[in-house]
Amino acid sequence: MGLLAHNAWTAEVQVAVAANFSATLQALVPAFEKESGHQVRLITGATGKFYAQIKNGAPFEVLLAADSQTPLLLEQEGFAAPGSRFTYAIGRLVLWSRQPDLVDDQGEVLRSHRFKRLAIADPRLAPYGAAAMQALERMGVLPQLKDRLVQGDSVAQAYQFVASGNAELGLIARAQTMVDGKPVGGSYWLLPENLHSPLRQDAVLLKAGEGNRAAWALLQYLQSPQARALMRNHGYSH
């Protein structure tokens, strides 16, 4: 009887999560599932692609975006539950290389000829890609780097270009260069926040999830002290 009653109250939630936050959410999920009894199914991708998929009827129930604009638009257009939006994390952009001596603490390597390729996420689809373009423009280096840019569909793919050695440098999410609060290795420069618009990442409950108790529970959990502590360890602020 007890097991049947427990199962009657548990549910699964389908979460569309921005690529930069995927590893952090995967680290959060076990504790959430243990505490709540609910199950989480993650779909990782670029925020812009999720926006199009949601408008075309994709059955996602929660969106964890890499920006604040997309959840707002979805709410305004009737695809998300009014009043459910909140900022779950604020991200930072870093210039990263696998090579320990390539990136200096001012990002001056971007003005040099010490590299052939700089990886970024597609600025039309990924907020981190848009922030990267904005930063390069404000630094005044975009014209000279245009021919050296390689774009991934998401910031996860941009990271892979650098991790695999296909690009020497990448402008990616700070969280991708950290494990348990420590740098993963190589060399990196944390870009000053005045070089790009704030990377405020909002969560929203989508229409498909309004009746799903697991969706509501996950959004609540993301605002808990234990979840926020783990996010800080992964390079995010609030």
Q: What is the pLDDT of residues 102-135, one digit of tens each?
A: 999 999 999 999 999 999 999 999 999 999 999 9
238 belongs to a structural domain? no
- Dig out the tokens for 227 from the structure: 């979840």
Q: Are 140 and 173 members of one domain?
A: yes
Domain of 190 in residue numbering reads as 92-195
* Signed CA dihedral, 127, 131, 132, 137: sign only: positive
Rounded Cα distance, 52 and 55, in Å:
5
Q: Are 12 and 77 members of one domain?
A: yes
Q: Are 97 and 187 members of one domain?
A: yes
Q: What is the CATH number of the domain that holds 20?
A: 3.40.190.10
- The C-alpha angle 127, 133, 136, rounded to 5 degrees, equals 140
Q: Are 21 and 83 members of one domain?
A: yes
Task: Give how many domains the chain has, as a whole number.
Answer: 2
**pLDDT tens profile 32-73:** 999 999 999 999 999 999 999 999 999 999 999 999 999 999
Q: pLDDT at position 2, please? A: 37
